[in-house]
């Protein structure tokens, strides 16, 4: 699509820049209107699926954590702060998928909306300023100028995120304090205010947090909230740590000393690169000492490195190597897979053989490597028993690196291998009837009314997965991601596309 200055100058005295300013302001109002509409719809969804929808008032006494209904059926979830309404698990699954979010992200989203609506009424009012509900319960703009001064959804959500751990009195205190300044308060000031509320209204928890502060110390290698660890062709990962002050001071000195030694030994990197290399050098020296102690009968003798890799080589690269015509652009990639050992803990990613060679040769300790051929995905494998044998599981996990539920990104290596068509209904245990589902979404399929099947092209080739939710919405999962496959009267006129 192309446009010219005259297209945006219409109605603005022929001034295209002024028209663009008006255009972006209109878009910002529309975006805020959409955000609040989704929040209002979320509140309506929560109210339509209360805790009583799961247990029934008469059955509450029989619905405990160890009953089959709780273990295998729907269950109420506490997503907001203390005192906010509960919502059913099945409702969360359905709403998160409709929002185009993973279940974890959807849980957090609903929790923040519930927190705002039921525990932060003044913040909610600031967010909905200049808006009103029509007769159908949808949000419409009542005063555009007031909307311009409304609290953005992103800031309202930040407040909700910070107050969810507070008792009701503490949340009300923060809500009152922020009524006039929520639109401009920063994260640091907000954190200070919520800490004050915790100390004021829940001193026992505040004291316990102070006692437990030592437990916040950690050293994490490239850990994301969902547990993914990634390596790439650079062969580098991120390390995050929270240390005791004295430990940090000693580590800083040790890094400086070893970094200086590396420079004397010819390391050509800058100070930051040498300090990073020094951390690995300190670790290798410790492992070398362990192995020495093992030889004298006092140590563990642990291998310094232990990993599993899959080497991916194209047919062209193989032919080029056989004829001696391979070039640098045809170098195979190695996939690092999770497994026992040290490097394998980095898991899930690709790197070049050059980087793999460096991992192996630069170790001062022993290195154990298992190189596996890629399993041919065109070969269908079967088993007579109900349980999937290891080789079938391996093939399924290599074909599907994540759970195949809509928008789920949990690694398949931590997921169940599910019979797509139930074994009890006569379906076989085979790779063409298998898919990885994380435990939560395995429950959704088995107990909460979701169902799925392979999506096939017109030639009968598997292209992905088609899911149907409990409420009848369809989703298509392909290597490109998740898309809504539902079109029709159910979505006519909706503002929640």
- Which regions in the chain score pLDDT beneath 50? 1-10, 57-58, 224-229, 303-304, 318, 339-344, 364, 488-497
CA quadruple 280, 278, 335, 105: dihedral sign: positive
Distances (CA, A) of 295 to 152, 301, 305, 365: 64, 8, 18, 13
pLDDT at residue 473, as a whole number: 95
* CA-wise closest residue to 315 among 328, 293, 332: 332
CA quadruple 194, 176, 29, 134: dihedral sign: positive
Helices (H), 265-382: 271-295, 315-322, 353-361
> What six digits make up the tokens of 454?
């392979």
Distance CA 30, CA 21 (A): 14
Distance CA 404, CA 410 (A): 9
Radius of gyration in angstroms for the set of CA atoms belonging to the chain, rounded to a whole number? 28
pLDDT at residue 227, as a whole number: 43
CA quadruple 112, 114, 120, 121: dihedral sign: positive
pLDDT at residue 361, as a whole number: 62
Please provide the distance, in angstroms rounded to a whole number, between the alpha carbons at the two ends of the chain: 23
CA dihedral 239, 243, 246, 247 (to 10 degrees): -50
pLDDT at residue 458, as a whole number: 87
Tokens 């009542």 — which residue? 142
3-state secondary structure of 496: coil
DSSP H or E stretch at residue 211 = helix 203-211
User: What are the structural domain ranges in the chain?
Assistant: 5-213, 239-372, 387-491
On whether the CB atoms of residues 452 and 420 are closer than 8 A, the answer is yes
DSSP line for 63-123? --TTSHHHHHS--EE--SSTTSPPEEHHHHHHHHHHTT--HHHHHHHHHHHHHHHHH-HHH
The residues, any chain, with a CB within 8 Å of residue 249's CB and separated by 6 or more, are: none
pLDDT at residue 225, as a whole number: 42
pLDDT at residue 428, as a whole number: 80
Distance CA 334, CA 307 (A): 11
pLDDT at residue 238, as a whole number: 80
Tokens 């928890």 — which residue? 205
On whether the CB atoms of residues 468 and 451 are closer than 8 A, the answer is yes
Distance CA 363, CA 284 (A): 7
3-state secondary structure of 411: strand
């Amino acid at each position: 699509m192309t446009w010219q200055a005259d297209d945006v100058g219409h109605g603005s005295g022929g001034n295209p820049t002024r028209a663009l300013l008006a255009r972006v302001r209109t878009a910002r109002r529309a975006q805020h209107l959409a955000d609040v509409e989704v929040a209002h719809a979320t509140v309506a969804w929560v109210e339509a699926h209360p805790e009583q929808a799961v247990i029934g008032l008469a059955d509450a006494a029989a619905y405990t954590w160890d009953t089959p209904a709780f273990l295998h059926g729907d269950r109420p979830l506490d997503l907001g702060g203390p005192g906010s309404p509960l919502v059913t698990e099945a409702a969360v699954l359905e709403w998160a998928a409709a929002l185009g979010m993973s279940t974890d992200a959807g849980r957090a989203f609903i929790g923040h909306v519930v927190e705002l609506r039921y525990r932060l009424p003044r913040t909610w009012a600031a967010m909905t300023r200049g808006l009103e509900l029509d007769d159908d319960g949808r949000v419409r703009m009542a005063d555009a100028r007031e909307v311009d001064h409304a609290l953005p959804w992103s800031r309202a959500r930040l407040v909700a995120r910070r107050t969810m751990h507070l008792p009701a009195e503490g949340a009300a205190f923060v809500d009152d304090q922020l009524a006039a300044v929520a639109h401009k308060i920063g994260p640091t000031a907000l954190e200070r205010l919520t800490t004050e509320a915790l100390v004021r209204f829940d001193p026992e928890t505040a004291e316990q947090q102070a006692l437990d502060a030592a437990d916040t110390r950690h050293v994490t290698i490239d850990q994301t909230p969902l547990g993914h660890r990634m390596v790439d062709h650079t062969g580098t990962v991120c390390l995050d740590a929270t240390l005791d002050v004295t430990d940090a001071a000693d580590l800083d000195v040790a890094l400086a000393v070893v970094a200086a030694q590396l420079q004397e030994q010819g390391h050509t990197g800058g100070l930051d690169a040498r300090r990073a290399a020094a951390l690995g050098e300190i670790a290798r020296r410790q492992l070398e000492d362990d192995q020495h102690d093992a030889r004298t009968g006092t140590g563990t003798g642990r291998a310094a490195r232990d990993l599993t890799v899959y080497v991916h080589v194209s047919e062209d690269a193989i032919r080029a190597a056989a004829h001696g015509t391979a070039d640098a652009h045809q170098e195979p990639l190695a996939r690092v897979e999770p497994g026992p050992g040290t490097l394998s803990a980095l898991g899930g990613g690709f790197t070049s053989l050059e980087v793999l060679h460096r991992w192996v040769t630069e170790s001062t300790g022993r290195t154990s490597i298992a190189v596996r051929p890629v399993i041919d995905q065109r070969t269908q494998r079967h088993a007579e028993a109900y349980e999937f044998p290891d080789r079938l599981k391996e093939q399924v996990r290599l074909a599907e690196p994540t759970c195949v539920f809509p928008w789920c990104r949990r690694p398949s290596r931590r997921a169940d291998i599910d019979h797509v068509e139930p074994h009890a209904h006569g379906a076989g245990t085979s790779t063409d009837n298998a898919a990885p589902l994380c435990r939560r979404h395995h429950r959704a399929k088995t107990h909460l009314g979701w169902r799925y099947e392979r999506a096939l092209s017109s030639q009968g080739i598997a292209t992905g997965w088609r899911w149907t939710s409990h409420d009848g919405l369809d989703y298509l999962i392909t290597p490109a991601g998740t898309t809504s496959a539902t079109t029709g009267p159910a979505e006519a006129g909706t503002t929640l596309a």
